[in-house]
Amino acid sequence: MFSKRLFLQSAAVLAGLCIGAAAVAQESPMARVERTKVLRVGVISGATPYFHKDLETQKWDGFGPDFAESLAKKLGVRVESVETTWGNAVMDLQTNKIDVMFGLGPTPQRREMVDFSDILFNNTMTMVCRKGFGPVTTWEQLNDPKVTIVVDVGSNQDQHATRMLPKATFSRLDSSGAASMAVQTGRADCQALVVLLAQPLLAKRPDVGTMYVPEPVVASPTHIGLPKSANKDLENAVNAWLKQARASGEIQSVIMKNMEKLAGVKPESFPKQVQF
């Protein structure tokens, strides 16, 4: 038998659920972090020393995880690692799968889609060239259709090399590892890589090629990607942590610690042109 009272009660419950769901959907990134006490951080497999997963313990190491733990401690929350790729990280920020992504470059296209923190550190652009190619002293030497440059699609090095070498022939592959293999097998002349990826690559696989720092030296600013939002509470909190971490020397120490621990690259091995 139809009950008007029961109908009104059910409608009220349904309306409450809808209002609650809408409130959660519209909450700011910082409000979501504070409500759940969880900071969702993008991590990338095979991107040592930015991100490195121990297959036995399933624990993530590297710059990103170390910075994430420090930031989460400052916010009073815990870290949840969400696997992504350099190419998908911006989309994952847009679709609310992650709250922060360490290691993104703020290109104009990306700024249309996500927000960025202040500079995390500067990463020098290098070229890892196949054996027998070179020496390379300037970018102009590579700016030629006869030179094949390989990059991992969507990465910082893809953006910078495309801008610096408009006349070169580009090959864009799914991963940095695939790009390195193209250089090693002679299918490409040089791989564009930031120094913090080039140094570990050659420490582990010196047969890939030779690293050069072309003039003029190009620094790729590395930032923290954030969901685009009119509410800047999360961005302000991240920048406050970042300011403190830079002032205390934490940023530099995390970089150097992981370069030596995960990649076997000692601080003194960096080219003199490299400044973080």
SS (H, E, C) the chain: CCCHHHHHHHHHHHHHHHHHHHHHHHCCHHHHHHHHCEEEEEEECCECCCEEECCCCCCEECHHHHHHHHHHHHHCCEEEEEEECCCCHHHHHHCCCCCEEEEECCCHHHHHHEEECCCCEEEEEEEEECCCCCCCCECHHHCCCCCEEEEECCCHHHHHHHHHCCCCEEEEECCHHHHHHHHHCCCCCEEEEEHHHHHHHHHHCHHHCEEECCECCCEEEEEEEEECCCCCHHHHHHHHHHHHHHHHCHHHHHHHHHHHHHHCCCHHHCCCCCCC
Q: What do you get for the CA distance between the two ends of the chain, in Å?
A: 74
Q: What pTM did the predictor assign?
A: 0.72
**Number of neighbouring beta carbons within 10 Å of residue 38:** 15
Please answer whether residues 227 and 94 qualify as being in contact, where contact means their C-beta atoms are separated by less than 8 angstroms: yes
pLDDT of 268 reads: 82
The CATH T-level fold of domain 27-121+221-269 is: D-Maltodextrin-Binding Protein; domain 2 (3.40.190)
- Domain boundaries in the chain? 27-121+221-269, 122-219
Please answer whether residues 40 and 80 qualify as being in contact, where contact means their C-beta atoms are separated by less than 8 angstroms: yes
pLDDT of 107 reads: 84
CATH code for the domain defined by 122-219: 3.40.190.10
Cα radius of gyration rounded to whole Å, the chain: 22
Same fold, 27-121+221-269 and 122-219: yes
| Tens of pLDDT, residue by residue, the chain (276 residues) | 445 555 455 555 444 444 444 444 589 999 999 999 999 999 998 888 899 999 889 999 999 999 999 999 999 999 999 999 988 999 999 999 999 999 998 888 899 999 999 999 988 999 999 999 989 999 999 999 999 999 998 887 898 899 999 999 999 998 888 999 999 999 999 999 989 889 989 988 999 999 999 999 988 889 999 999 999 999 999 999 999 999 999 998 999 899 999 988 888 888 777 767
Closest by Cα among 92, 246, 267 to 196: 267
